A and B are shown apart, each in its own frame.
Chain A
């Protein structure tokens, strides 16, 4: 160790100036140098003091470290003119070195110097470079004449070809080579930097970003489903999901027991949870998803090791089973799997956003560093045409009737006459345990049945609209008739009950719901027109609702009709239609002859919070208004005088038509004589008949076959009667006259 010598008093005030500008020709010696020299002189050592900046070469000579690297890097000695000082009899330290005996070994010694250096040596070398000035020439360095030995060595090398191998060449070439090499290296570096900044920038940039940031998904909230009055039918609310990391669980059995107690888990779930927590290879196990926040808070308050939670949206249906066959459902990840939730999943589901936060070295988010890089866009909301109160009334009325009959099930659809808006749509059925429930399947759209006598409305309207029949035309109507007699298509068609031959006009045919009379009407227009009108009334065509699982029914082209197939569709057999098609068909009469497609979604609410109405339902003219008005009058007679008396409501004029269809047996055939029959009974009507506002379908599946309750007028019409007051109240329907209802007779 050497200590920095204290500068003389005259220099203390300007150390920097001295070091930079002044040049002391006398080498400065440290106190350690002086002491070391004094010590050597006391020992009788005549060798010059070894300085920190001197090192021993392999030949035992001393080489100044200050000069050694410079010499090693210098080009091959070439005859150069002697410095001016030498000519004047002076020598510089470098000249002395060049003239020293050890100079010939200098090049090889330099490598040894580097190898023999220790870190301490290097440090001393640096210090000595700063402190030690060139020393005055010593006697030893004057022992040999300057330049003599290098000349001799050059002569030796010239005479010895083997040593020319080590000739370093000309400095110009080496400089050029060094320059080219340097340029190439820097060029490569520059090219690589360019690549990193352009082509490969993305990956490195993302890698760098990933090291210091963390992205979190901002879940977009799923849209709400409203009824027509703004009451929520389905919405998403925050819930808490509890999970466990088995790696941090110290007592799996005890933890599972505590969680089961707090969350009310079943013993099986508790056992499986304990087993899952014992598997330390897993780091994530669900305990309970989307539990109530208060319950989750109580669980988290237990502070169980490894148990944690996070918040996610849970889909909630506040009305319970209300309209569930229409709304459908979502899975636990809020993806629609049935009903409108499935059909409109794309617009109900928003677009997730992203939040970027900076993290510390431990991976913890730095507070205040989070920024929303991409905002979440909430899903659109649906405003249905459904009226929650009417829906409830319909469901309750169906449940009451189906359970009291009892029947297998029932379906109801309430439609706004002018717009086609569905106000309610429900199905109920008896489950395997004999309990009647609202179904999750929308059977009014996914199942089809033979409409039975309700289809006679279309046949009569078609015949009337074509002018083939007038209301005053009368027909002789027997109770049965044989068609295509003596052919392979021979078939006997009967009315529901035996009766003597009737003389009936069109109204009479409808009032008595005569199959034979309706076929006589159909005969007037032929199968092609029959098919045209039924198609125009919406049969066989999937509705505009495009509801998931919706059926178009079975209604083959009239060209394919054979035998009785040319006749049976006129009174509702040989054709299978879903309830939505049937109610839409009868609504043509209520709507003045204009078919209007059913509509279930009235508006959507976007991100701006503004409700935008959906397109009005498509419509077309099916029959003339005159025909519709005439049919309206006849259907009022059906309710007042015919098979639909059970649909009468005091003070309200009702128009409608009943239908009682015999169902096919398990073999797909109609039951033979004596075989037990099953029925599908229905009533479709509208009110007030003077100015129709609402059309409603009620169908009862498999009412008691052996009773009078099997008919549409007795099984279905009473349900219609039950819900009319609720519909009128909710819709604000005012009877156009104070003398509504059926005239007293």
Chain B
């Protein structure tokens, strides 16, 4: 009688453990799916934002905006000699430092870093 009861208890415990294990697996899989969806959504959003950035930086748009502000293309050009220090100050103020000076990665480097991580996230 004792053996039967003990066997039942062990069997019940094993079944309960199996159920718990399967439940944990399912939970982890759901969490994994959600993470994959998040990665995919983030990557799609990254693409959309890159498109918007490219459109905003497009010379066509800039020309239209400049024209709307009353700017016109220069008829003549004149080359003048500038003080390199003045040039550096202006570039730093405009956050447009050359790649060899700036610590910020270029847009290509940033893209490569993202692509190396996400690849083609499912």
Contacts and interface: CB of A to CB of B under 8 A. Distances in A.
Interface of A: 218, 220-221, 224, 226, 229-232, 235-238, 316, 318-322, 350, 353, 355, 367-370, 372, 375-378, 381, 383, 388-389, 391-393, 396, 605, 607-611, 649-652, 724-725, 735, 738, 740
B122 A220 contact: no
A396 B63 contact: yes
Contact of B122 (A231, A319, A353): A353
Contacts of A369: 29
A370 B54 contact: no
Given A235-B47, A609-B114, A368 B63 contact: no
A377 B33 CA distance: 19
A391 B122 CA distance: 36
Chain B interface: which size bin? 35 or more
Contact of A320 (B26, B58, B112): B58
A367 B30 contact: yes
Given A322-B60, A609-B115, 19 more contacts: A224-B111, A226-B111, A230-B106, A231-B54, A235-B54, A318-B54, A319-B54, A319-B58, A319-B60, A353-B120, A376-B122, A378-B115, A381-B111, A392-B59, A392-B60, A396-B63, A609-B113, A724-B77, A740-B79
A410 B106 CA distance: 34
B33 A221 contact: no
A725 B115 contact: no
B70 interface: no
A232 B55 CA distance: 9
Nearest to A355: B122
B71 interface: no
B33 A370 contact: yes
Contacts of A368: 26, 29-30, 33
A370 B58 CA distance: 41
12 contacts: A232-B50, A232-B53, A235-B54, A318-B54, A318-B55, A350-B120, A376-B120, A376-B122, A393-B59, A605-B111, A610-B112, A651-B78
Interface string B58-83: 11100100000000011011110100
B108 A230 contact: yes
Contacts of A224: 111
Contacts of B107: 229-231
Nearest to B31: A368
Q: Choose among B60, B63, B107 the residue with the greatest number of A CB atoms under 10 Å from its CB.
A: B60
Given A235-B47, A367-B30, A322 B119 contact: no
Contact of B59 (A226, A322, A375): A322
Contact of A238 (B47, B57, B58, B63): B47
B62 to A, nearest CB: 9
B47 to A, nearest CB: 5
Given A226-B108, A368-B26, A605-B111, A650 B59 contact: no
Given A322-B58, A378-B115, A609-B111, A725 B74 contact: yes
A375 to B, nearest CB: 7
B77 A237 contact: no
B54 A609 contact: no
Contact of A611 (B44, B58, B112): B112
Contact of A235 (B50, B63, B76, B120): B50
